[in-house]
Amino acid sequence: MLEGLSSQEYHQAILDALKETDGQFYQLLTREYDRRQKTLQLGAAENQCSQAVLAALGSVLQNKTAEGFVGARMHGGCEVVDDVEGAAVSRAEETFGAQYANVQPHSGTQANQIVLTAVLEKGDRLLGMAIGHGGHYSHGASNSFTGKFFEVENYGVDGDTFVLDYDVIRDKAIKFKPKLIICGASAYPRTLDFKRFREIADEVGAYLLADISHISGLVIAGAHPSPIDFAHFTTTSTYKPGGPRGGLILMGKDYVRKIKVGTKDVPLWEHIDEVTFPGVQGTPYFNNMAAKAVFFKETLSDEYRGRQFKIVENAKRLAGSLVDFGYDVVTGGTDNHMVLVNVAKLREGLTGPTAQKCLEECGIVVDMIHLPYESRAAVADGIRLGTPIVTKNGMGSEEMEGIAALIDAVLKRVEVVSDGGYRIGGSLKEQTQGKVKDLCGRFPLR
């Protein structure tokens, strides 16, 4: 009788199998690894998961099809994936101090879609942060399903301070009477006051959704206040804090609160389950769910928790150095992992896209970004920098100052030519690339 490979042999052979059967894609993986290894990763919306998380993603769990939740599946053969989901849920609850966790959402956007579908009917009112002020598409942008099916009002940051003004948000909420308020942002460097948001929501009888995708790692460690018991629902992407791609829905003390569904009163958590499946999604990705669970365990370590504070410290140092070099850092600094810089104010003709491209050519990877109240609607004025990855690889304050100097050398000396074009003169590019390689060589990917 033929015996199959042991699980160990099977899983260890995964990369070799790809190399043998599809050399082109093996090469693409290799190229991406080399790119990350040799260039500075300053994306604020990215992180770097562990090899253990990658192993779970590339595992045999990917092959299991099952709808529903633990103990309530239509498909057979669920004894292992029931254990996977059970462990993932309890680990998520422990990680975030939550009463309820749903580990099935395929992404942060889908986590939001599930919550919106659960509490809003077509045409209901939603108050969210404007996309141009740092909000996310799924918070009511006109080109997202959230802007298509619901009536949306936006709040934004103050025109002088670029910080949220909660009195203005309250006034808007009182006038607009939304059924749901969304807080949380993709481009906002300051601490969010979840307690205040809940007070506003309670005053107008709205549900509150806190989307902490960008800051959930900081929230886990206590480097940013937690919304879990203030918001009715908390959602996050799982890759931004350093796990696999995917989404998560959490609830704190409101999880058993009743919501009217048809003629019945149903606990919120039960309704969120129902809307997840069959409401919005089909089968969950069990390999991804296992990877989330592996990541949640990692977040309990001292290393992970300490690192989140270091990420903030590094971002503050990076922001401070850029201010010293004469940059307009939005709000003058940061409370979290991201630094927003208005590069259009630095030099005539310089734009976010040009800054992103010329920095990337020199080995420094950043995101271009639209800033509130910017000068031209069509072209982004800013860049967004983040410190999660460089911090994970061991860099500290000295390196942050070095990175600010590298960015400054490029942005002050690049020649801006017409319409988005630029020239990097002399040996600036080679010099910067060399320094970046050197720096990355001292802090290799972990």
Alpha helices in 235-380 (DSSP H): 268-274, 286-298, 302-324, 352-361
The answer to whether 243 contacts ligand PLP (rule: CB under 6 A) is: no
Q: Rounded distance, CA 415 to CA 423, Å?
A: 5
Closer of 39 and 138 to ligand PLP (Cβ): 138
Q: Rounded distance, CA 354 to CA 137, Å?
A: 24
Among 214, 292, 307, 316, binds ligand PLP (CB under 6 A): 214
CB 66 to ligand PLP: min, Å: 22
Q: Which of residues 313-332 bind ligand PLP (CB under 6 A)?
A: none
Closer of 43 and 349 to ligand PLP (Cβ): 43
Among 50, 95, 102, 109, binds ligand PLP (CB under 6 A): 109
CB 132 to ligand PLP: min, Å: 14
Q: Rounded distance, CA 53 to CA 288, Å?
A: 9
CB 214 to ligand PLP: min, Å: 5
Closer of 330 and 411 to ligand PLP (Cβ): 330
Neighbouring C-beta atoms of residue 412, cutoff 10 Å:
13
The answer to whether 107 contacts ligand PLP (rule: CB under 6 A) is: yes
Which residue's entry shows tokens 């879609």? Answer: 113
Backbone angles phi, psi at 248, to 5 degrees: -150, 140
CB 369 to ligand PLP: min, Å: 12
Question: Which of 63, 62, 55, 77 is CA-nearest to residue 8?
Answer: 55
* 3-state DSSP percent of the chain in helix, strand and coil, to 5: 50, 15, 35
The answer to whether 154 contacts ligand PLP (rule: CB under 6 A) is: no
The answer to whether 388 contacts ligand PLP (rule: CB under 6 A) is: no
| Helix (H/G/I), strand (E/B), else coil: 216 | helix
Site mask for ligand PLP (CB under 6 A), range 167-206, x = bound: -----------------xxx--------------------
Widest Cα–Cα separation across the chain: 77
Among 18, 45, 416, 428, binds ligand PLP (CB under 6 A): 45
Closer of 186 and 281 to ligand PLP (Cβ): 186
Point out which residues pair with 251 in neighbouring strands: 100
The answer to whether 136 contacts ligand PLP (rule: CB under 6 A) is: yes
Alpha carbon distances (Å) from 323 to 44, 260, 296, 343: 19, 52, 36, 12
Positions touching ligand PLP (CB under 6 A) are 45, 107-109, 136, 138, 184-186, 211, 213-214, 237, 247
